[in-house]
Structure 1
């Protein structure tokens, strides 16, 4: 560890000048000190806990650029817009920028004029950006992985580049003088012990400083409700929203089509609603976010694309029209309600246990399991045909699902990355985590008769806090008992 040379009084003065608060909230000061000391860090801080400030402030106090890897354009744009309103040297790179805007950002990067650069993992490893970052003249003081749970959630499927991030640091340091440091910090609102281990292993964190707060929120009431038919599912949702007239909330669905269909149906029923998913243009997404934030729209029917980086403290409720596939997704999404500390509700609709009358949940879970099995077979097929040492580009050129198969093999302990673009196959398999176990954990939570908050705390590695809590008194299980 390298002790920071920046006086703590300077840190506090900068914090007050830019953000206008008198003092940090726990554990913000601890995280900031660790990043200024150039320590690898793993931060698990519940939604609304002020994670962004923890890496933005150290970045602004140091020379060079801090690279912030973010999963969504909307999330990048929101944070950069707030920084620019304070006249701070921040920028973003993504596919929706014009060529002129991209050239401006890349010139600012080469000239070391930026302190924060937001980009996706895919953009980080794109040739124009990677070539510039490898230049020794470009000063990089840190790498931040925001919404780090996405590495585990998406890295083995449609965002395989996440699995290559552990090779980024050694590849960048190879182009710089000996002794150069490049700390990595991963930030997320939720990570169970398995996810924590995966993040440390994949990112190759070195003796990371770990800061973990449990997700318990005494103002958030958790409940599930069984529905016996697709029609009853819609009617239950409609009644729930009607009974909360004037209260802003979110309806989470699992597909773009459901988002569009349900938003249109709610509007026919007289509700103010909007559909939100990753297929919308950036302009449409900003417009919906603004309308909802200003209470012009009561309900946003959204996929998981909505929420990360959108801060509306007076969100009073979250309804899961279909249960998420994992507890990590669930806690992320319900945590967007009641950030102002006032009472809020989270309701999950679930099919009746047999699935005969409403098979929606069982069909979706079977679909994900089938997808995983198909991916495993494809990866094993590809592994038998590719060379023991090779490049991602060659495998992608030969196989449509090549990059995903390589990421899956990495997750199974059968592959290592020589650098972000080249792999080496390994014998055997070390991984035991599967999507099936993730789905089972979600199903166990939905059917459990125990206190829901106690169940969640145990699943996320806070057994002591779960025992201290006992029964929470503000979930459907505790109220029934």
Structure 2
């Protein structure tokens, strides 16, 4: 460590004590903060509850200028900004659900350079009004932070195509500054296997990034998988578990809005304080339900994956996957909500028996989501043969309903180059390009239906070697058997 970097870290530690009240960093927070203060690109993979937010908030507050934080969900942005404002720190958020008066106030604060942290979605970052402000030559931008970076790989091709323009957005921001300043990118996530890490690095065009990774293993989190043979049996297993953990706060994950509403209603009929939560609720309703759960007025939330990222409830004692996701990274993200206080917590998954003969619902659900993805990718491939060889995103969107997704898909296949965040150029088609990319659910099936240590399976799938060849966690259901 150089003298200057050691000095930077000492200043950071003093500010840590003053603002957050912590006497020391948790490894590897100091390594990450040092990299960001030295303006390096970085890819940081830390387990849920590992203190990721502090790693980019603290360097932002130590520097003059603005740090942009790209975040996927409104609730996630608002929760983090509120915590910063409670500490009287210069942070704000811009998103589509913000009242006009608040948007105006934030844009004025941005114009007069009164902010240190600005949280926004990828779509808001690349909106005309905000982009015009950010590309002002006199606005100093210290860095671009991508929070929950796995969303780029998970959603970037078919759901949130703006994610795939973030790499070229960095280059455009750099060109807009008078001294062609270098703007580092730091990507943070709790769940990125080697394939997702590669996708993040390629899409963002990271420059010799510092890679900081910790194993996803959580010794206080106990994993259990139970087979169910009928839809009624699945409900009974859920009810039995809840009764055994009557006074504890929990989270039940389902895959659709309808399941969320129907299962929460059924639990209330059984005498439990439960609420549904999904992206179809309006913003004020979502905030109200989050607060009711955080304050223990409601013990159980039945949610889609719209709930969870950035919600910090340390005393969450259990997570149930009533329906298991198709991706292992998503599963690890969701179970990581439990036991963030370090005390024992439970993660239970209810799955149809392996053959699916008696209860085919899990197989049908997985097939439905795979078909949806394949249909979007096929449609994007068809549109790609109709769009001009070069042009603007706006023109393509006017001409074709799913034009943005088609361009995103072509970019992921190496057939398109973004010349700036709003203009593209098609590239010669590679010799062999897969027309349809399917979701690989092999990893999640290996976890759910395998007989070995479940945590060992997760650790290996995330690219880590167990401490010893014979290592087992000792506290998942397979180990205890």
Tell me the TM-score range normalised by the shorter chain: over 0.9
- Find 1:443's aligned residue among 435, 442, 445: 445
What's the secondary structure of 2:368's corresponding residue?
helix
How does 1:24-43 map onto structure 2 within 5 Å?
A: 24-43=25-44
What's the secondary structure of 1:413's corresponding residue?
coil
CA–CA separation in structure 1 for the residues paired with 2:436 and 2:345: 33
Q: What are the Cα deviations for residues 279-322 of structure 1, in whole angstroms up to 9, with x where unaligned? A: 22222222222222222211110111111111111111110001
Determine the structure 2 residue equivalent to 1:116.
Answer: 117
Please say if residues 189 and 332 of structure 1, whose CA atoms lie closer than 8 Å, have aligned partners that are also in contact: yes
How many Å apart are 1:434 and its aligned residue? 7.4
Please say if residues 167 and 420 of structure 1, whose CA atoms lie closer than 8 Å, have aligned partners that are also in contact: yes
Please say if residues 110 and 137 of structure 1, whose CA atoms lie closer than 8 Å, have aligned partners that are also in contact: no
- Tell me the number of residue pairs that the alignment of Structure 1 and Structure 2 aligns: 479
CA–CA separation in structure 1 for the residues paired with 2:306 and 2:433: 28
Determine the structure 2 residue equivalent to 1:214.
Answer: 215
Q: What are the Cα deviations for residues 91-141 of structure 1, in whole angstroms up to 9, with x where unaligned? A: 000111111111111111111110000000000000000011111111111
How many Å apart are 1:86 and its aligned residue? 0.9
How does 1:277-296 map onto structure 2 within 5 Å?
A: 277-296=278-297
What's the secondary structure of 1:96's corresponding residue?
coil
Q: What are the Cα deviations for residues 184-242 of structure 1, in whole angstroms up to 9, with x where unaligned? A: 00000010000000101000110001100011011111111111111111111111111
**5+ unaligned residues in a row in structure 1: which ranges?**
none
How many Å apart are 1:376 and its aligned residue? 2.6
CA–CA separation in structure 1 for the residues paired with 2:84 and 2:143: 18
- Alpha-carbon spacing, 1:123–1:469, altered in 2? closer, same or farther (3 Å): farther
Determine the structure 1 residue equivalent to 2:226.
Answer: 225
- Alpha-carbon spacing, 1:378–1:436, altered in 2? closer, same or farther (3 Å): closer
Determine the structure 1 residue equivalent to 2:46.
Answer: 45
Q: Output the TM-score relative to the length of structure 1.
A: 0.96
What's the secondary structure of 1:211's corresponding residue?
strand
How many Å apart are 1:395 and its aligned residue? 1.4
What's the secondary structure of 1:436's corresponding residue?
coil
Determine the structure 1 residue equivalent to 2:406.
Answer: 405
The answer to whether 1:75 aligns with 2:76 is yes
Determine the structure 2 residue equivalent to 1:424.
Answer: 425
**5+ unaligned residues in a row in structure 2: which ranges?**
none
How does 1:462-473 map onto structure 2 within 5 Å?
A: 462-465=464-467, 467=468, 470-473=471-474
CA–CA separation in structure 1 for the residues paired with 2:5 and 2:168: 26
How does 1:31-430 map onto structure 2 within 5 Å?
A: 31-429=32-430
- Alpha-carbon spacing, 1:433–1:457, altered in 2? closer, same or farther (3 Å): farther
- Alpha-carbon spacing, 1:326–1:37, altered in 2? closer, same or farther (3 Å): same
How many Å apart are 1:36 and its aligned residue? 0.3
CA–CA separation in structure 1 for the residues paired with 2:36 and 2:377: 38
- Alpha-carbon spacing, 1:234–1:444, altered in 2? closer, same or farther (3 Å): same
Q: Output the TM-score relative to the length of structure 2.
A: 0.96
How many Å apart are 1:179 and its aligned residue? 4.8
CA–CA separation in structure 1 for the residues paired with 2:63 and 2:434: 41
How many Å apart are 1:183 and its aligned residue? 0.5
Please say if residues 254 and 304 of structure 2, whose CA atoms lie closer than 8 Å, have aligned partners that are also in contact: yes
**RMSD after superposition:** 1.8
Question: Which shows bigger deviation, 110-119 or 345-354?
Answer: 345-354
CA–CA separation in structure 1 for the residues paired with 2:470 and 2:396: 51
CA–CA separation in structure 2 for the residues paired with 1:137 and 1:453: 50
- Alpha-carbon spacing, 1:156–1:7, altered in 2? closer, same or farther (3 Å): closer
Please say if residues 40 and 209 of structure 2, whose CA atoms lie closer than 8 Å, have aligned partners that are also in contact: yes
Question: Which shows bigger deviation, 415-424 or 174-183?
Answer: 174-183
Please say if residues 369 and 435 of structure 1, whose CA atoms lie closer than 8 Å, have aligned partners that are also in contact: no
- Alpha-carbon spacing, 1:431–1:55, altered in 2? closer, same or farther (3 Å): farther
CA–CA separation in structure 2 for the residues paired with 1:43 and 1:320: 27
How many Å apart are 1:76 and its aligned residue? 0.6
Q: What are the Cα deviations for residues 361-406 of structure 1, in whole angstroms up to 9, with x where unaligned? A: 1111111221222223212211111111121111111111111111
Please say if residues 315 and 336 of structure 1, whose CA atoms lie closer than 8 Å, have aligned partners that are also in contact: yes
